[in-house]
Structure 1
Amino acid sequence: MKGARHIIEAFEKNFRDYGELGASVSVWKEGREIVSLHSGFAVADETRPWTERSLVPVYSATKGPASAALLLALHRQGASPEMSMGELWPEFPLPYATIAQMMSHQCGLAAFSRQADVFDHEDCVRALEETVPAWQPPEHGYHPHTYGVMLDELMIRLTGERLWAYWDEYIRRPLNLDFFIRLPESEFSRVAVLYPGKMDMSNMGTPFYLEYMKKGTPVNRAFNTLIGLNSVRQMNTPAAWTSGMPAFGGVASARGMAQFYQACLGLDELEVFPETVRGWMRDVVVDGPDLTLKTPTAFSCGFMHDPVDLSTGRKRRHLFGFGGFGHAGAGGSHAYADPEYGLSFGYAMNRMDLNVLPGVKTRNLINAAMKEIHEDGGGFDT
C-alpha cells in the first residue's frame, strides 16, 4: 500500500512486539478511505480470522458519535448547547449549567449518590437527580458512565426518542456506517471477543490509579456507581451490544469509526452535520486539570481534544493528530478527525490495554499517521 509505510510498520509491530490479537486500522482523507489494514483473530483460539468487517465493543469511543447525535438534534430543534440544562430538564441537579458545560464534563456528576442499573434508564435518571454535584463549572472531570444517562435523557426530552434510535435514523443509516450504538441481531456474528490486557505496573503509582484502586474514592465511584456492564466478560454479551448506552455501548469497525469522523469534517456527500454543528464539535469548551482522570484534559461538546500547556502554548500530547478532536475508548479503541488535513482515523482491536488514556499500541498508530502526513507535506501519496 503505497504511502502508508509508517502505519503498516506500526501495525505489524503491535502484533510482533505488543501482543495484538486482532485489529483494524482505517484512515480516510477528503471523503475516501486511503488506508485499510486488518489482521489477526477475532477469538483467542484463532478459529475466526479478524477481517475488515469485524466489529468490537469500543467503549467510550461511543461518546463522539453519541454527542454528535445530540448536537444534531439540538440544531434541528432550533436550539444550541448554550441552552441551560434546566430549560429541558428542570430536575437536573445543576439547572443553570449549560448543555455545553454538561457535555464538557463540568457538572460534577461523574458518580451517582447511589448505585443504579445501566439497563434501567428511569432509575438512572432518578439516581442522577438525587446526586449533589461534586464540583461546579469551570472545574471539570471526566464522566465515564453517567455522561450517557445525561445524553439519553436530553435526547428523550428533545425528540421523544432514545439516543440510539436518533443516531440510527439520522446519522448511521444515511451514511451507511459500521458504527452501532444498539447492535441488531443480524450483526452479532461479526462481533469479536474482547480480552483484558495485563496491568501495566508502571501505571500503578499514578494519581489516577492510586484513587481508582481504592474502593469508595471519587475516581473509583465514577466507574462503579452505574452497574451492569462493569467487566470485560459482561461486554462480550448481546445484552451489552444492544444496551444502547451512549457513553460506552457502541460496537463498531475501524472503518465505521473513521468514516464517521469524515462526516464530522463535512467531507461526506450528504453533509449530515451542518457547519454550526461541526463548530460545536471543534471548539474547545474547557481545558485544564481533570478531577477524574487526574491529568490535564480538554473537551468541546462531547469530544476530546489535546490539552494545551499554558506555559509553552503547545499541546501536551498528540492523541488527535495535529489539533484534531475525537474520543478514546477503554482498552485502546480510538478515532479522531484532523481538520487541518481533512483526515480521519479509526482503530479497533480486541486485546485491550489497561491505560486511562490510549496506550502504546494506539499511540504507535497515531504517531505513524502523523509521520505520514509530515513526510508527505499534508497528504498520503496514494
Structure 2
Amino acid sequence: MSDEDRTITVYGTVAAGFEGVREEFAAVLAEDHTEPGGQLAVHHHGRRVVDLWAGEGIAGDSLPAVYSSTKGAAHLVLALLVQDGVLDLDRTVASYWPEFAAEGKGGLTLHELVSHRSGVVWADGGLGVAELADDRILAERLAGQRPFWEPGTAYGYHALVIGALTGEVVRRATGRSVQELFEERVRAPYGLDFHLGLPEALEPRYVAIRPGVPTPEQAAEAEANPVDPEGLMALAFGWTSDPPLDLVEFANTRAVRALGQASAGGVASARGLAGMYAAAISEVDGRAPLLKPDMLAEVGRVRWTGTDVVTGEPNPFTVGFEASQVPYPFLGEGAFGHAGAAGSQAFADPVHGVAYGYTRRRFALPGGPAPENERLAAAVIRAADGVRVDA
C-alpha cells in the first residue's frame, strides 16, 4: 500500500491545548513505511492529557512488549529503596551480594553498577532465552562472571542483564524481588497497565511484536557498516550466542512475559508507561509523588559521561535510568526515563511536569527508541509550554 492510499484512523482523546500532539501522531503514522500502529499517552502535572492509539489490532489498553523501557520500572523500585535508606548507592555491590566479588568485581559500588559500569554485559558460553527469562538464574550465572572491561573504568550498556544484577542486590537487601516490590509499591496502588510479570488472564491483551522492515537506506547502512561480530555490542545483545538471540522471539516468549525479566521483559500500554512516570514526579489521585526532591534530583543527575563502550553512543545513565535530555535536548534539566528496543519510549520531565509513554508493535530499526519519538516528544513539550496550569 502506498502512502497516498493509506488511511490511518487515530482513536482516543487529547485535552485542550494538546491538539497539536494528535496531529503529529497522525502524521507519524501516515509516514510509516511499514505497518503503522502504536500508542501515545502523556500526563501533565499528574493529569492525563493525551491518550491516543491507532493500527490494526491495537486498542488503548493493548499490552505490547516494551523491552528496555522495563528498566525504568526496575530502577524506580531501586530508587525508592535508596530513598527509604534500605540501599546505599555508595556501598559496594559485594557488601549486599558477596558472590559478586569474584573476578575482581569486589570494589564496584551500587551506583557504578546502575550506571552500567560493571563490565558484566554477558556470560561466557552464551545465554539462551530460558536463562534470560529468569532473573534468579541469570544472577547466578553472572555472579562469578569475569567483566569484559575493568569495573568502574567505563560504562557500556548492559542491555539484557542489568535488571538481574540490580535485582539481585534488591533481593539480598530485602528478601523480595524487584517484580514483587514493583507490583506492591507502584503498579497495584496506581492501577497501572505496566507489568513485570504478565498474568495469564491478561494474555489476550498482549500484542505480539513483529520484526522490523528496513528501508533501502537502512539496509544500505547496515551493509556498509556491519556490527563487529566479536565486539561488545554483539556480545551484549546476545548475537554471539549459539543460536544468536532473536529479540522478537524473546519478547514473544510467554516465559519472558510471565516472569517479567527486569531488563527487557516488561509489558505495558502507553498509559502504563506514562502513568508510572507521572506517579514518580507528580501528585496523582491525591497521592504525593513517589520520589521526594532529593531522590528526584539524584535520578536526574549524571555522574559519569563519555562514550558508551558497547553502543558507541553518548548515552549516559543515572540511577539505572537514561538521561533523557541527551536524545531530546528540548526537555528540562533532570529529565529521566528509558527507551526500548522495539521503539518504545518513556520518560519524566519534572521541569515541564510531563510524563510520556509511547509504544509500537512493529520493531523500529535500527533499534532503540523509534525515531518518531523526537517529533512526538517535541510536540508534547510545545503543548505543555502553552498550557496554563491553574494554581
User: What is the TM-score normalised by the length of structure 1?
Assistant: 0.86
Return the alpha-carbon distance in structure 1 between the equivalents of residues 359 and 346 of structure 2.
9
Return the alpha-carbon distance in structure 1 between the equivalents of residues 223 and 92 of structure 2.
31
Q: Residue 97 of structure 2 aligns with which residue?
A: 89
- Gap runs ≥5 in structure 2: 1-13
Q: Residue 357 of structure 1 aligns with which residue?
A: 368
Give CA deviations for 1:1-27 in whole Å, capped at 9, x if unaligned: 431233112211122111453311111
Q: Residue 147 of structure 1 aligns with which residue?
A: 162
Does 2:235 match 1:221?
yes
SS at match of 2:156: coil
Pair 1:153–1:337, CA change in 2 (3 A)? same
- Gap runs ≥5 in structure 1: 43-49, 307-314
AA at the equivalent of 1:4: F
Moved more, 223-232 or 343-352: 223-232
Q: Residue 337 of structure 1 aligns with which residue?
A: 348
Moved more, 16-25 or 256-265: 16-25
AA at the equivalent of 2:116: H
Q: Residue 156 of structure 1 aligns with which residue?
A: 171
SS at match of 2:61: coil
AA at the equivalent of 1:282: G
Write out aligned runs for 1:69-148 (5 A): 69-92=77-100, 93=102, 94-116=105-127, 117-135=131-149, 136-148=151-163
Return the alpha-carbon distance in structure 2 between the equivalents of residues 254 and 119 of structure 1.
23
CA drift of 1:204 comes to 6.4
CA contact (8 A) 1:71 1:81 kept: no
Does 2:75 match 1:67?
yes
AA at the equivalent of 1:126: E
Does 2:209 match 1:194?
yes
Does 2:301 match 1:290?
no
CA drift of 1:210 comes to 4.3
Task: Please provide the CA RMSD for this pair.
Answer: 2.7
CA contact (8 A) 1:109 1:134 kept: yes
Pair 1:197–1:138, CA change in 2 (3 A)? same
Give CA deviations for 1:91-128 in whole Å, capped at 9, x if unaligned: 21422111111101111111222223214545422331
Identity, % of aligned pairs?
A: 28
Moved more, 318-327 or 221-230: 221-230
Give CA deviations for 1:3-55 in whole Å, capped at 9, x if unaligned: 1233112211122111453311111011110111112222xxxxxxx221111
Does 2:235 match 1:235?
no
Does 2:44 match 1:29?
yes
Give CA deviations for 1:213-247 in whole Å, capped at 9, x if unaligned: x4332210101168897331342232221122000
Choose from 184, 189, 193 the match for 1:178.
Answer: 193
CA drift of 1:142 comes to 0.8
Choose from 269, 277, 290 the match for 1:261.
Answer: 277
Return the alpha-carbon distance in structure 1 between the equivalents of residues 161 and 223 of structure 2.
18
CA contact (8 A) 2:134 2:261 kept: no
Q: Residue 247 of structure 1 aligns with which residue?
A: 263
Does 2:287 match 1:270?
yes
SS at match of 1:300: coil
Return the alpha-carbon distance in structure 2 between the equivalents of residues 199 and 59 of structure 1.
19
Moved more, 157-166 or 89-98: 89-98
CA drift of 1:331 comes to 1.6
User: What is the TM-score normalised by the length of structure 2?
Assistant: 0.85
CA contact (8 A) 2:208 2:361 kept: yes
SS at match of 1:345: strand
Does 2:338 match 1:327?
yes
CA drift of 1:200 comes to 4.6
CA contact (8 A) 2:135 2:262 kept: no
AA at the equivalent of 1:141: G
AA at the equivalent of 1:297: N
Moved more, 76-85 or 226-235: 226-235
AA at the equivalent of 1:59: Y
